[in-house]
Amino acid sequence: MAAGDRAYQQGRYAEAERFFAAALERAERLGAQDPRVALSLGLLAAAYQAEGKYATAEPLLRRALTIAEGALGADHPEVAATLTAIGALGAAQGRYAQAEPLLRRALAIDERVLGPEHPEVAGTLDALATIERLQGRYSEAETRSRRALAIREKVLGPDHVDVAVSLTTLAALYRIQSRYVEAEQLAQRALAIREKALGPEHPDVATTLAGLAELSALRQNATQAESLARRALAIQEKTLGLEHPDLARSLRALGEAQRLQSKYAEAEPSYQRALAIDEQRLGRESPRVALDLGSLGTLYRLQSRYAQAEPLYRRAQAIGEKVLGPEHPQVAATIVDLASLYRAQSRFAQAEPLYQWALTLQRKALGPDHPEVAESLDEYAALLKQINREPEAAEMEAQARAIRAKAAAPAR
């Protein structure tokens, strides 16, 4: 294994960058359009992306694609690999609509040239599943992610480090669908694979820990969530530096854990630091910035800092509608938050239509029996009680209880 590849696999990305930059310089002596230049550009871009230098990585990948298409033809596996890399980078940047057609083209090439069960096909499937999940298309995402996992387990073996990628992708989907038991089983298996293959302080281990922290917070296990988030953050600060985009996810999970424990004074700087990193590295209109704004807005709402919370919710809603679309589940969640803010201020006439709108969006996007629907029903019921519409509130609460009972019932 070349020194650059070894450094990259071990999570020493700055060192890998130096090796790949030197390799690119050597390749360019062969001619600017040599396919080995495209390969070196792709490796260097991968190092930049791993370091969180997304804007630096993208033009290298675009150049690599042009060279590969010219030198190897439009249907070559190297072209597909570069398309997948550009698509995965687009997902990290929140540019889902631009990334998806690139990934679909890559998948078509891989399946045609390499066959339907090649590991490269699995990698592209996972990238495409991530894009679909982030756009709220959960059924499509699950189909692709399950297929990717099956390919990797069959071809590479159940304990291969790439299997952990598919496990993590599927766990993220189950987490957002509130399928917490399934999500935790997959994430714990991914963690075991990565710790064994990569060591306990690899950045990929931290990514898995951050996902488990988010899951623990959703299950109201705040102390466990805080412990996992702190461990993830410590690894990332040591290996990636203080401003890498991956830190923002761990910081947001840490803030959630602190908020659940009413540690508001500690949660605020966690959320603020996550927001600052995402705005700097991803831009002010990233979907992840919208998540940060919503988290900070909820913290302020719980502290009755309403004047500070409202503009954050409004900005989160505007970003979500622009980037994700007005019917995305993340947008619906922000609308519920805004309605709850108005309810806390006794602005009932403004709050009620927002609850109705959010419920319509959630039922359409998530299905009528999703736990987020139950939470919104409870919030709406609380409003109805405040304005003395008790029978309607009781009906809402009964619907919410039925959803939770159905979710808790064992599968047959």
Per-residue pLDDT at 16 exceeds 80:
yes
In tens, the pLDDT along 316-326 reads 999 999 999 99
Domain CATH for 339: 1.25.40.10
For residue 30, what pLDDT is reported?
86
- CA-based nearest residue to 149, from 180, 182, 197, 196: 182
Asked whether residue 46 is assigned to any structural domain, the reply reads: no
| Total domains present in the chain | 1
- What is the average per-residue pLDDT within 14-34? 91
Does residue 411 carry a pLDDT above 50?
no
Q: Is residue 278 within 8 Å of 93, Cβ to Cβ? A: no
Domain-embedded: residue 318:
yes
Average confidence (pLDDT) over 243-250: 96
The residue assigned the tokens 């995965």 is 88
The predicted structure's pLDDT at residue 409: 62
| pLDDT score of 274 more than 50 | yes
Instruction: Quote the pLDDT of residue 161.
Output: 97
What pLDDT band is residue 406 in, cutting at 50, 70 and 90?
A: confident
Domain that holds residue 311: 300-412
Averaged pLDDT, 85-91: 95
Burial of 15 (0-12, 13-18, 19+ CB in 10 A): middle
Q: What share of the chain in percent tops pLDDT 90?
A: 91
313 lies in a domain? yes
- The alpha helices in 29-137, defined as continuous H runs, are 35-50, 54-72, 77-93, 96-114, 119-134
154 inside domain: no
Asked, for residue 26, whether it belongs to a domain, the answer is no
Q: Tens of pLDDT along 129-153?
A: 999 999 889 999 999 999 999 999 9
In a domain, 373, yes or no: yes
Q: Is residue 348 part of a domain?
A: yes
Q: What is the pLDDT of residue 412?
A: 43
Indicate the average pLDDT of the chain: 95
CA distances from 10 to 23, 192, 223, 244 (A): 19, 16, 30, 17
Answer yes or no: pTM beyond 0.85: yes
- 195 is a domain residue: no
Q: Specify whether the CB–CB gap between 249 and 210 falls below 8 A.
A: yes
